[in-house]
């Protein structure tokens, strides 16, 4: 009977993971995945990280993927195990993060009987994955896993789920290795490898003609790899065109470079948003015209010719109609643009866009990120600025939760390299940052990994501190503690007559004691005189640290383009008042 | 009589809505129909009619025909979204082809009471060249095919005959580019 060329489904899974060079998996056991856990027990190539809730596993896999450029992998049981990862899968889908989720399912013959811990996993996760599978036949398992990895990481990356019934984990079949699988092209959708020469030529011609060009760069540039970022830097240096990035584009271009206008959008820089509004040529590199970026659509950059490079065809002409587009990989396209410029000896030297830069420098004089730090209460902006100054010489990765602290982090922390900034943009998932830091630290054991957190968000996945302690991951949780769901409070102040309904975070734990109870370390800064020392202490401790930074409770995040307003209608401080008509319209938006 | 809605109707949203027939070739695998239907409901697109059948047993391919409403921009977005689904080989708006044909099939059961009605029914059935599937004393079943518009006309004509009872099923349009 025993055929030595045959393996159980569980063993096939492990062989496939090895073949895919997976060395880390985040997971949580349960009845429907016990055969897989049994296989994990007897091997040593794969490090299993036991999270404390499945949501932690999926965000950790996202953090791992974002910080390493590899596919993140997680393993969860059927029923509640898998429903707990729905938020994270949606998050990864929105933010184009390659992850593969393996879930256990009740045995095939029980599917459809409302068995214990049965749920319609493929049904529930269909709209929140790039693709998903229910594997009913063990002989299909190898190729399914290899296809899943290929799909997760090709074209516009995203989450893929493989649901494996328990009997299939026990059943035996041959293993087919990755190199023996021929992928069907229509299923992989990797995008064209041929750069559109016309697009390139057209773009260069428009750059030559334009007076007020701008690069608008998004997360697609990140996903295209470090080469994309290198080519982008070359192109910007050559042309002297200003560049602004989305929340996810931060780091694709060095934030301290003189051509960088910083982030654009709802809490973006004044100069970045006005430049978008007034430009005559917009070069969109892997951004998706998200509503957080465009503001009111009918007033979005009315006078510009728009070029769009995006691997995802459905992002083109979805929200904003563009004049020229190409559906090709960004690194390849930018490389072609650079070599076209070089080989035709096109010189932008005399162009320099002096008037345009003059105008931009006028806008910069507004100093939209200016704040007044007094000598007692810590301003949250200042806390981030100091964190940046005291960590910028180190090899640092920053994750965040969601809220004001996230926007302040985006505004005041500067990134010089891609993949260093890991945040939940599209879905805005509170509770993302801490498990994402666990993942980032697993992928980068020697780096400094900091989760810039709000106290409310941190409470959403606080259990993962135990994971960090167990695996000796010295992540730092830097809490801007304002005792409020600050971003909610800000909207209530601006749009709902300062009626702070349910946005005060009462009954907060003592974060220092909490850290200690987990066998982590707690530090605290109550006022400005303690800030630098606290940050330095936090960095110096080679263990997980929770830093409780008490900040001004009433501070709001500016600049702000209120929902429904246009780029040129941004508020710079609480003294700026919104046009009441916009306000009524904006209220119904999110 | 006109009534006013409490909700203002965005007139422009409907102005350019037009009917399109999309032809989608997919791998015939579990869940593919759910993916497509889910895409439409999740993104707020309309499905006016839907037809799915395997068309190539060897290659395991199905052809799905979807009739939908939307302005051009929305239709292009639907096509782009469909083409992102892993099992989808291609999605085509038949209206964008230089030549394409459409057909629909309808089975219709008519109960009548008297000869005069019978005569009128027979007359229309003849004009529209429908095939008699079954005829009993006061019941007749026809099969009629052609464009959806032609079937609509046939049904409108039948409607002019008072006192008959009609029950029917339609396949929804299917279409093919040439
Ligand atoms: C899971 C989830 N629930 C609700 C929200 C809505 N929301 C956005 S920001 C925010 C408040 C966050 O508070 P905190 O973490 O303290 O950050 P702060 O804004 O105070 O810096 C809330 C409730 C969300 N983004 N995610
Ligand atoms: Mg807070």
Quick one: tokens of B167? 């029950």
Mean pLDDT of B148-172: 96
Give A130's contacts in chain B (Cβ within 8 Å).
Answer: 86
Contact between A187 and B27 using a beta-carbon 8 Å cutoff: yes
**Reported confidence tier of residue A579, pLDDT bands at 50, 70, 90:** confident
Mean per-residue pLDDT for A274-290?
97
- Per the CB < 8 A criterion, the answer to whether B110 and B158 are in contact is yes
Q: In whole angstroms, what is the distance from residue A174 CA to residue A183 CA? A: 18
Flag if A130 and B76 touch (Cβ within 8 Å): no
At B5, is the pLDDT very low, low, confident or very high (cuts 50, 70, 90)?
very low
Q: Coil, strand, or helix at residue A10?
A: helix
Nearest to B76 among A122, A123, A317 (CB): A317
pLDDT tens profile A352-390 = 899 999 999 999 999 999 999 999 999 999 999 999 999
Measured CA to CA, the distance from residue B164 to residue A523 in angstroms comes to 84
Match domain A6-176 to its CATH number in 2.120.10.30, 2.40.50.140, 3.40.50.970, 3.40.470.10: 3.40.50.970
CB pairs under 8 A between A and B: 40
Catalytic positions of A: 54, 116-117, 166, 487
Collapsing DSSP to helix, strand or coil, A576 comes out as: coil
Residue A108 φ then ψ, to 5°: -45, -45
Whether A55 has a pLDDT exceeding 80, the answer reads yes
Model confidence band, residue B8 (pLDDT cutoffs 50, 70, 90): very low
CB A324 within 8 Å of CB A284 = no
In this structure, the number of other CB atoms found within 10 A of the CB of residue A395 comes to 12
Task: Determine the pLDDT at residue A3.
Answer: 79
Instruction: Decide if pLDDT at B6 tops 60.
Output: no
Report whether pLDDT(A399) > 90: yes
**pLDDT computed for residue B15 by the predictor:** 53
Q: What is the pLDDT of residue B11?
A: 45
Q: How far apart are CA A516 and CA A539, in angstroms?
A: 17
A406 C-alpha to ligand 1 centroid (Å):
10
Per-residue pLDDT at A584: 79
Cβ of A482 less than 6 Å from ligand 1 = yes
Of A187, A316, A317, Cβ closest to residue B86: A187
Contact criterion met (CB < 8 Å) for A316 and B80: yes
At a CB cut-off of 8 Å and minimum separation 6, what does A353 contact?
Answer: A211, A212, A213, A240, A241, A242
Q: Do domains A6-176 and A380-550 have the same CATH topology?
A: yes
More confident residue, A447 or A569: A447
What is the spatial distance between Cα A247 and Cα A268, in angstroms, rounded to a whole number? 9
Q: Between these two residues, A352 and A296, which has the higher pLDDT value?
A: A296
**CATH for the B11-96 domain, from 3.30.70.260, 3.40.1280.10, 3.40.50.620, 3.40.710.10:** 3.30.70.260
Q: Is A140 in a helix, a strand, or coil?
A: helix
- The SS3 of residue A551 is strand
Band (A451; pLDDT cuts 50, 70, 90): very high
pLDDT at A146 exceeding the cut of 50: yes
- CA A461 to chain centroid, in Å, comes to 17
Are A492 and A541 contacting, i.e. CB atoms less than 8 angstroms apart?
no
For A12, the token pair is: 């096939």
Q: At what angle do helices A433-443 and A54-68 cross, to 10 degrees?
A: 50
Per CATH, the architecture of A197-364 is what? 3-Layer(aba) Sandwich (3.40)
Which residue has better confidence, A265 or A589?
Answer: A265
Fold of A380-550: Rossmann fold (3.40.50)
- A544-570 pLDDT, tens digit each: 999 999 999 999 999 999 988 999 899
In order, the DSSP letters of chain B are: -----SSPP-HHHHHT-EEEEEEEEEE--TTHHHHHHHHHHHTT---SEEEEEEEETTTTEEEEEEEEEE-HHHHHHHHHHHHHSTTEEEEEEGGGSSSEEEEEEEEEEEE--SHHHHHHHHHHHHHTTPEEEEE-SSEEEEEEEE-HHHHHHHHHHHHTSTT-EEEEEE---EEEE-
pLDDT at B10: 43
Query: Best of A90, A455, A456, A477 to mutate for ligand 1, by most ligand atoms within 8 A of CB?
Result: A456
Q: Could you give the angle at which helices A330-343 and A226-239 cross, rounded to 10 degrees?
A: 30
Tell me A351's DSSP state.
T
For the four alpha carbons of A91, A96, A100 and A105, in that order, the dihedral sign comes to positive
Tens of pLDDT along A313-327? 999 999 999 999 999
For chain A, give every domain's residue range: 6-176, 197-364, 380-550
Q: Tokens 């805005």, residue?
A: A428
Q: Write the residue with the smallest CA distance to atom 5 of ligand 1.
A: A430
Nearest to B31 among A126, A151, A312 (CB): A126
ipTM of the complex: 0.94
pLDDT tops 60 at residue A10: yes
Mean pLDDT on B136-142: 96
Question: In 3D, which of B4, B54, B66, B45 has the Cα closest to residue B27?
Answer: B54
Contact B80 A134 (CB under 8 A): no
Residues of A in contact with B90 (CB under 8 A): 186
Q: Which of B35, B37, B84, B90 best tests the A interface by mutation, with the highest count of A CBs <10 A?
A: B84
In this structure, which residues have their CB less than 5 angstroms from ion ligand 2?
A 454-455, 482, 486
On whether the CB atoms of residues A52 and A41 are closer than 8 A, the answer is: no
Q: What is the CA radius of gyration of chain A?
A: 25
| d(CA A346, nearest CA chain B) in Å | 36
What integer pLDDT is reported at residue A191 of this predicted model?
86
Query: In this structure, what are the phi and psi dihedrals at residue A533, rounded to the nearest 5 degrees?
Result: -60, -40
Mean pLDDT score of chain A = 96
Q: From the CB of A404, is ligand 1 less than 6 Å away?
A: yes
- Residues of chain B found within 8 Å of residue A322, distances taken between Cβ atoms: none
Locate the ligand 1 atom nearest the alpha carbon of residue A405 and give its number.
Answer: 21
- Centre of ligand 1 to C-alpha A382, Å, is 21
A454 touches ligand 1 (CB under 6 Å)? yes
Q: Is the dihedral of CA B149, B151, B152, B157 positive or negative?
A: positive
Matching CATH number, B101-173, of 3.30.465.10, 3.30.160.270, 3.30.70.1150, 3.40.50.170: 3.30.70.1150
pLDDT in tens, A156-204: 999 999 999 999 999 999 999 999 999 999 999 998 889 999 999 999 9
Query: In the structure, what pLDDT confidence band is assigned to residue B178 with cuts at 50, 70 and 90?
Result: confident
For residue A405 and ligand 1, the question of a CB distance below 6 A is answered with yes
* Domain boundaries, given as residue ranges, for chain B: 11-96, 101-173
Given a cut of 50, whether residue B4 has pLDDT beyond it is no
Which among A267, A266, A269 has a CA at the least distance from the CA of A361?
Answer: A269
Q: What is the pTM for the complete model shown? A: 0.96
Q: Is B76 on the interface with A (CB under 8 A)?
A: yes
For residues A329-367, one letter each, b for 16 or more C-beta atoms within 10 angstroms of the residue's C-beta and e for the rest, the string is bbbbbbbbbbebbeeeebeeeebebeebbebbeebbeee
CA-based nearest distance B100→chain A, Å? 24
pLDDT, position B147 = 95
**B145 burial via Cβ count (<10 Å: 0-12, 13-18, 19+):** middle
């Amino acid at each position: 009977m025993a055929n030595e060329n045959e393996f159980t489904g569980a063993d096939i899974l492990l062989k496939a993971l090895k073949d895919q060079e997976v060395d880390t998996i985040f997971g949580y056991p349960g009845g429907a995945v016990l055969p897989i856990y049994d296989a994990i027990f007897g091997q040593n190539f794969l490090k299993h990280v036991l999270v404390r809730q499945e949501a932690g596993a999926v965000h950790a896999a996202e953090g791992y993927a974002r910080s390493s450029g590899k596919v993140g992998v997680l393993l969860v049981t059927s029923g509640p195990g898998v429903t707990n990862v729905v938020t994270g899968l949606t998050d990864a889908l929105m933010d184009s993060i390659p992850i593969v989720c393996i879930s256990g399912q009740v045995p095939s013959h029980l599917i459809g009987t409302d068995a214990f811990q049965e749920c319609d996993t493929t049904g529930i996760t269909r709209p929140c994955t790039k693709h998903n599978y229910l594997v009913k036949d063990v002989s299909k398992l190898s190729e399914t896993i290899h296809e899943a990895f290929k799909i997760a990481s090709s074209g516009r990356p995203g989450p893929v789920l493989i649901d494996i019934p328990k009997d299939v984990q026990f059943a035996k079949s041959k293993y087919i290795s990755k190199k023996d699988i021929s992928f069907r092209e229509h299923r992989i959708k990797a995008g064209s490898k041929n750069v559109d020469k016309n697009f390139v030529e057209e773009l260069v011609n428009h750059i030559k003609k334009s007076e007020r060009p701008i690069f608008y760069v998004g997360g697609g540039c990140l996903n295209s790899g470090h080469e994309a970022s290198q080519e982008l830097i070359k192109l910007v240096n050559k042309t002297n065109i200003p560049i602004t990035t989305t929340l996810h584009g931060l780091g694709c271009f060095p934030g301290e470079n003189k051509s960088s206008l910083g982030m654009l959008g709802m809490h973006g820089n004044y100069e970045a948003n006005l430049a978008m509004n007034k430009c005559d040529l917009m070069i969109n590199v892997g951004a998706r015209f998200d509503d957080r970026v465009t503001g009111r659509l009918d007033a979005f950059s009315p006078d510009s010719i728009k070029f769009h490079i995006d691997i995802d065809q459905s992002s083109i002409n979805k929200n904003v109609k563009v004049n020229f587009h190409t559906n090709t990989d960004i690194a390849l396209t930018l490389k072609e643009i650079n070599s076209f410029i070089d080989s035709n000896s096109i010189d932008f030297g005399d162009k320099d866009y002096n008037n345009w830069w003059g105008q931009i420098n006028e806008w910069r004089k507004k100093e939209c990120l200016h704040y007044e730090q007094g000598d007692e209460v810590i301003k949250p902006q200042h806390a981030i600025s100091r964190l940046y100054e005291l960590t910028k010489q180190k090899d640092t990765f920053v994750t965040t939760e969601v809220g004001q602290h996230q926007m302040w982090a985006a505004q005041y922390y500067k990134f010089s390299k891609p993949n260093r900034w890991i945040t939940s943009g599209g879905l805005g998932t509170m509770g993302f940052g801490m498990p994402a830091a666990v993942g980032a630290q697993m992928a980068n054991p020697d780096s400094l990994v900091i989760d810039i957190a709000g106290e409310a968000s941190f409470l959403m996945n606080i259990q993962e501190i135990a994971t960090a302690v167990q695996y000796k991951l010295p992540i730092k949780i830097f809490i801007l503690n304002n005792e409020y769901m600050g971003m909610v409070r800000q909207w209530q102040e601006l749009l709902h007559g300062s009626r702070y309904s349910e946005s005060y975070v009462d009954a907060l734990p003592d974060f220092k004691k909490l850290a200690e109870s987990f066998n982590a370390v707690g530090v605290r800064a109550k006022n400005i005189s303690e800030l630098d020392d606290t940050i330095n202490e936090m960095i110096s401790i080679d263990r997980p640290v929770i830093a409780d930074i008490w900040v001004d409770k009433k501070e709001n995040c500016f600049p702000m383009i209120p929902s429904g307003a246009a780029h040129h209608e941004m508020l710079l401080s609480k003294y700026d008042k919104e046009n009441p008509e916009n306000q009524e319209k904006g209220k119904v938006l999110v | 009589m006109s009534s006013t809605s409490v909700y203002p109707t965005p007139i422009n949203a409907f102005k350019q809505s037009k009917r399109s027939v999309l032809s989608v070739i997919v791998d015939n695998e579990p869940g593919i129909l759910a993916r497509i239907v889910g895409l439409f409901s999740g993104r707020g697109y309309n499905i006016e009619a839907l037809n799915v059948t395997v068309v190539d047993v060897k290659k395991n391919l199905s052809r799905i025909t979807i009739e939908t409403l939307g302005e051009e921009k929305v239709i292009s977005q639907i096509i782009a979204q469909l083409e992102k689904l892993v099992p989808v080989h291609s999605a085509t708006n038949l209206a964008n082809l230089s030549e394409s044909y459409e057909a629909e099939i309808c089975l219709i059961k008519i109960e009548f009471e008297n000869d005069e009605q019978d005569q009128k029914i027979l007359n229309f059935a003849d004009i529209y060249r429908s095939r008699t599937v079954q005829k009993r004393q006061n019941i007749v079943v026809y099969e009629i095919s052609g464009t959806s518009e032609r079937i609509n006309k046939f049904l409108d004509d039948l409607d002019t005959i008072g006192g008959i009872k009609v029950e029917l099923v339609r396949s929804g349009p299917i279409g093919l580019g040439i």
